[in-house]
């Protein structure tokens, strides 16, 4: 384990840091999944920008950033522009469950991920 991994593990022992890390991972996972679907549908960033009425650099940054932090409004706009819908189911967490699990229909992308 390198020094970065050792530090990360030490910081993740703090419950607040660990929670923030899980939230950031979930946001990244949402954007990564949306980007995979966009690419599979062969929709260009320019098409997405035109559909959403946003600036290209803002959309590009949102789709490629390591810490995108999208608002719910932005996620909804992206889903609408891509002609997608998302189902959200709340349930009690079991120990070890990630805060978010994303699945996609097979024809959208072969990606199935969970934020850990």
Q: What CATH code is carried by the domain that includes residue 78?
A: 1.10.260.40
Q: What is the pTM of this model?
A: 0.71
- Domain hosting 52: range is 3-114
Q: Is 53 exposed, middle or buried (0-12, 13-18, 19+ CB in 10 A)?
A: exposed
Task: Tally the domains of the chain.
Answer: 1
pLDDT in tens, 28-83: 888 889 999 999 999 999 999 999 998 988 888 888 887 788 889 999 999 999 99
């Amino acid at each position: 384990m390198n020094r970065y991994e050792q530090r990360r593990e030490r910081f993740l022992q703090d419950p607040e840091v660990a929670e923030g890390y899980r939230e950031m991972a979930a946001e990244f996972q949402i954007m990564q999944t949306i980007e995979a679907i966009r690419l599979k549908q062969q929709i260009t960033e320019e098409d997405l920008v035109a559909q959403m009425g946003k600036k290209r650099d803002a959309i590009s940054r949102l789709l490629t950033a390591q810490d995108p932090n999208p608002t719910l409004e932005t996620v909804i706009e992206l889903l609408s522009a891509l002609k997608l819908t998302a189902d959200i189911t709340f349930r009690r967490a079991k120990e070890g469950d990630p805060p978010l699990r994303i699945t996609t229909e097979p024809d959208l992308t072969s990606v199935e991920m969970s934020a850990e």
